[in-house]
Amino acid sequence: MKNILKNIEGDRAMWAIVTIMAILSFMPVYSASTNLVYGTNIGTPFYYLFKHVVLLFLGFLIIYGVHKIPFRYFSGGSVIMLPLVIVLLIYTLAQGTTIGGSNASRWIEIPFIGVGFQTSTLAILVLMVYVSRYLARKKEVEITFKESIWQLWLPIAIILALILPANFSTTAIAFLMILMLAFIGGYPIKYLLAIVGLGVAFLAIFVITAKAFPGFLPNRVDTWISRVENFSNPSAEEGYQVEKAKIAIATGGLQGRGPGKSIQKNFLPQSSSDFIFAIIVEEYGLLGALLVMLMYFILLFRIVIAAKKARSIFATLIIIGVGLPIIFQAMINMAVAVNLFPVTGQTLPLISSGGTSIWMTCFAIGIILSVTAEKEIDLDLANEDNPLNVLHEAIG
C-alpha cells in the first residue's frame, strides 16, 4: 500500500473523493441491477456488480496512467485525436448499436469484451481539451471572428453535428460547456452571441429538415419533441419513468427503506444508470441524497482550487474544461430524477453503471490530476499583465 501511495501524485483530496464515490456506488448498483436480471434473464445482481467493479478498476487504471502524463502533451494530442473521433462518430452513425435497451444508436461495441463504447463522450472530452488549447494559444493576441471560425468553431461544429442526430442532450450540454469555457478563456462576447445565433439556426434547420424528410437521415427528433411534450405527462413512457422515480424519492423519507430494499427499482427501466439517484434516495433517504450531493460539491471545490493554483492559462482552462462537465452532468441526472428536467439519458458520474461514462470521467479526472502533479514553475506568472492572473482573480 505504501508503494502505491508513493506513486500517486496530484491532489490527494481529489484522489480520496473519487475513490469514496466509486466504493459507495457498489451497493446502489448491486441493488438496482435486479431489474436487469429479470428483464434480460442474463446473470445475477452479483454479475452486474462484478462487471461494475471491473469497469471501475479499469477506470482507476486510466486515472493512474493519465495522471502520469505531463498535461502539456494533451494539447497536441487533442489535435491528433480530432480526425480520429470524427471517423468514429461517422462509423457510429452508420453502424451504431443499441446497448441496455436504449433505442439510440450511440454505441459501438468493443470486440471480444462485449462492452459498448459511446463515441460521443470521447469526442466531447477531446473537444474540451482542443478548445482549451486554442484559447491558451490566443491569450496574448487579438482573436478575429473569421480566423476563429475556421480554427475553433468549424471542428466543433463538425463533431457536434455528428453527435446531434442520435444524442441531443449530449450535444446541448457540450455546446453550453464550450461556450462557458470560451467565455472564461476571454473569447469576445459579441462573437459568442453570434455563435449562439448560428447554433440555434442550425438546430432549427436540422429539426425542420428531419420533420419534412423523415427518411433522409437517422435521427431522434420525434423522441426529443415527445420528451418535451410529455415532460409532465404520467401516461407517456418518459412520464412513467419520472413518476416511478418520484415515488422512490417520496418513499425514501429521511433514512430510506434500507440497502437493497427499493421497490421502484423493479419498475424503472434504467434504475442502475439514468435513475440510480432515485434508487439511492429510496434506499438511503434524504441523508443518502445529501451525501451524494456533498461528494460532488467537494469534487467541484477541489476542481476550482486546482484551477486557481494552476501555473499556466492552458492548465487552468483544461481543468475547467474537463472538470465542470462532470459536475454539470451530475446536476442534470439528479434534476431529471426529481422532475426538474425532461429525461436526457445522462448518467450519474462515477456512481451509475456503464463503461464509457466511467472511463471518460476517469480520463478527465486523470487530466486534472496530471495538472495538479505538475511541479514546474511557469515564469510567465511574473508578468503582471499575464491573463492567467486576471482569470485567477475572476475565479477567486
- The tally of domains found in the chain comes to 1
What the block records as the C-alpha cell of 54 is 471491473
What pLDDT was estimated at residue 235?
Answer: 52
Rounded Cα distance, 22 and 392, in Å:
31
Exposed / middle / buried, residue 197 (Cβ in 10 Å: 0-12, 13-18, 19+): exposed
Q: Residue 298: which domain range?
A: 2-395
Q: How many CB atoms lie within 10 A of CB 173?
A: 18
Name, in order, each residue with C-beta under 8 angstroms of 267's C-beta and a sequence gap of 6 or more. Answer: 35, 244
What the block records as the C-alpha cell of 39 is 428483464
Rounded Cα distance, 131 and 123, in Å:
12
DSSP-assigned states of every residue in 27-74: HHHHHHTHHHHHHH--S-HHHHHHHHHHHHHHHHHHHHHHHTS-TTHH
Exposed / middle / buried, residue 76 (Cβ in 10 Å: 0-12, 13-18, 19+): exposed
Question: Among the residues of the chain, which ranges form H helices?
Answer: 2-7, 12-24, 26-32, 34-40, 45-67, 73-95, 119-137, 145-148, 154-163, 168-184, 189-212, 221-229, 237-252, 276-309, 313-337, 356-372, 387-395
**DSSP class of residue 355?**
S
Question: Does residue 322 contact residue 367 with C-beta atoms inside 8 Å?
Answer: yes
What pLDDT was estimated at residue 214?
Answer: 67
What the block records as the C-alpha cell of 388 is 492567467
Query: Could you report the average pLDDT of every consecutive run of 10 residues in the chain (396 residues)?
Result: 71 92 90 68 74 91 93 92 91 64 56 68 93 90 88 94 84 92 92 93 84 64 62 57 83 85 79 84 92 95 92 92 94 87 82 84 94 59 41 44
DSSP-assigned states of every residue in 98-137: --TT--S--EEEETTTTEEEEHHHHHHHHHHHHHHHHHHH
What pLDDT was estimated at residue 229?
Answer: 58
What pLDDT was estimated at residue 64?
Answer: 93
pTM score, whole prediction: 0.85
Query: Of all helices (H) and strands (E), which one includes residue 215?
Result: none
What pLDDT was estimated at residue 257?
Answer: 87
Residues 263-287 as b/e (b if ≥16 CB within 10 A, e otherwise) read ebbebbbbbbbbbbbbbbbbbbbee
Name, in order, each residue with C-beta under 8 angstroms of 361's C-beta and a sequence gap of 6 or more. Answer: 59, 326, 349, 350
Q: Looking up cell 422512490, which residue turns up? A: 248
What the block records as the C-alpha cell of 304 is 476550482
Closest to 29 (Cα-Cα) out of 342, 288, 279:
279
Strands 115-118, 107-110: pairing kind: antiparallel
